[in-house]
Amino acid sequence: MSQDALAAGLADLGIELPAAAQHKLLAFRDLLLKWNKTYNLTALRDPAQAVSHHLLDSLAILPHVGDGPLLDVGSGGGLPGIPLAIAKPELSVSMVDTVQKKATFLQQAAIELGLKNVTAHHARVEEMSGQYAQISSRAFAEIGLFVSLTRHLLAPGGRWLAMKGIRPDEEIAALPADVSVESVIPLHVPCLDAERHLIILKAGS
């Protein structure tokens, strides 16, 4: 049933993925729910709900993800980083979480799923180094804080991809003057009855 729900959801999002990638997505879902029993990675326990609320919710931003290296901040259970890495195997995906057990899960998931394009870091993002063309977050922090903690990691011409629920107009209004909003994109996530938005930001007005 999950396989059908995933295939239907992907079709609804206009995303074509080979069967092997779809199987890998469901294998990731199973791994997440298995580790969740011990590690408390997600509030969701229902496998069917995990397809819509985790896999499809993460993949809804796929059309807006570019080709340069991506850093996913506060990855927790690997969302959206791992679904994006599965769907886009040529994309280099780094994930960071301050919680050791979550970083351990991310490393183990990458190994078990054979994701050669994934690296996981146990660190505070403000202490990391490197340059990334794209920096994503899903329910990590208020946008201004997300931007300030990761600004040193954004490559010149790079973009922040902030996944939010309802349109965060107050957070956008409070952004520093030298951060510009490239677009605010309402997302439709199949089988998820809640507002979702992707806020794409750039440094420089």
Query: What is the pLDDT at residue 2?
Result: 87
Q: Which residues are annotated binding-site positions? A: 74, 79, 125-126, 138
- Rounded to a whole number of angstroms, the CA Rg of the chain reads 16
Which tokens is 48 given? 């069917």
Query: What is the pLDDT at residue 88?
Result: 98
CA–CA distance, 59 with 189 (Å, rounded to integer): 9
**In angstroms, how far is CA 14 from the centroid of its own chain?**
18
Query: What is the pLDDT at residue 205?
Result: 53
Q: Which residues are annotated binding-site positions for S-adenosyl-L-methionine? A: 74, 79, 125-126, 138
Contact status, residue 126 vs residue 153, Cβ threshold 8 Å:
no
Query: What is the pLDDT at residue 163?
Result: 97
Query: What is the pLDDT at residue 39?
Result: 87
Q: What is the pLDDT along the chain (205 residues), one digit of tens a residue?
A: 689 999 999 999 999 999 999 999 999 999 999 999 888 888 888 888 899 999 999 999 999 999 999 999 999 899 999 999 999 999 999 999 999 999 999 999 999 999 999 999 999 999 999 999 999 999 788 999 999 999 999 999 999 999 999 999 999 999 999 999 999 999 999 989 999 999 999 997 5
Query: What is the pLDDT at residue 139?
Result: 78
CA–CA distance, 200 with 3 (Å, rounded to integer): 31
Which fold does the domain 2-203 belong to in CATH?
Answer: Rossmann fold (3.40.50)
Where does the chain have alpha helices with state H? 2-13, 19-39, 47-50, 57-59, 81-87, 100-112, 143-150, 169-173
